Structure 1
């Protein structure tokens, strides 16, 4: 019998448009069709949809989810075990941050002074990888662009730069997670903002320099940590930024 597309969407808490998109990109094609050509989803289809949505909730881009689900010899139990491990790790990070914030609130309420280490404990998972600044200087420090760089100086400037960075990361994760093509206008806008943030950090950054930097992201996550902190990164994110930067550079030069 199976489920109509609207019924399957309602069960999963997604839109019909989402299921249509998954079908179009080959991520989830229904096992059956009615005589009139309408989609019909069976139990196995719903199991696959559940795995897709769990991976998506964990921040995996749709392209990466397709690759993960296509791994030979990986059954439903293996996927659930992997997803549980990822969720436990994510929950552990959040629990540690909540505990750190609770300690900050308690100390403030009691008027206790905190050590510098305690004040920044809440950011434990968000710190830049050790040696990142040194590595950046080694790679780019001799360039004229780096020498002309002007980093934020006041607390307000740092706060605004961090707000912009977080907003950019949020939109990046959303686009990649929804499978929006890296050569789309929305991804191109992110690429332009990426170039602007690089320019703010290292002076005027042209498309060639931007591509050289973005080319490192897929294989060297530490390089991406300048903009996307380690705990914010998701599988495939570095490659998505690289591809978006490449596509935007081609479009701008056309």
Structure 2
């Protein structure tokens, strides 16, 4: 009985009760009165579970199962329709709950100060204001803002850890002499593009244009060069050559 109970997902006590009330009584017993459930018995149990899930009382279930006049096919078709209806209602409930969760999360976005606390002393909250002034009317900015609205403090910590680990990997690759345009160089460029892609959709052309700031803006250059002298310009070269491998001329790249 224990094995049958485990198989169908009910307790032994439940099977005992169903046997006592005649709902599911095993057709075979051993000489020591141990219950042995046949495949037919298990099939009956599964039908009981189905009807019970639909809210049918046990007495009604027994009546349906034992009445030879019941059209089993028609009855199962009716139960199937009820299940589909229940699934549709549950899907509507799931959608409503997700909307409530989204609304709740939107009200919990981290402040610039909280972000700075997590991102560390290298992060200046003024940078976000500067970026907002330049890009707030772009689709990319709107996409990034939607991502941030869903992020918790733990999400920000995870992103910080991933970025730190990747930038350390860049420093190691630079010291190891990884060349722009090499297989490893292109892999690193794609990983860097993916790290930006967590915020908004980024093509190889966009990647090239963003990378120009790594040498043109002293703040970016200083940030990457903490991993080693020349890492910023080397990273730009990685990105340019990877873009070239994907059919983009870095010299004529456009924001598209």
Q: Does TM-score exceed 0.5, indicating one fold?
A: no
TM superposition score normalised by structure 2 = 0.45
Q: TM (normalized to structure 1)? A: 0.45
Of structures 1 and 2, the larger Rg is shown by 2
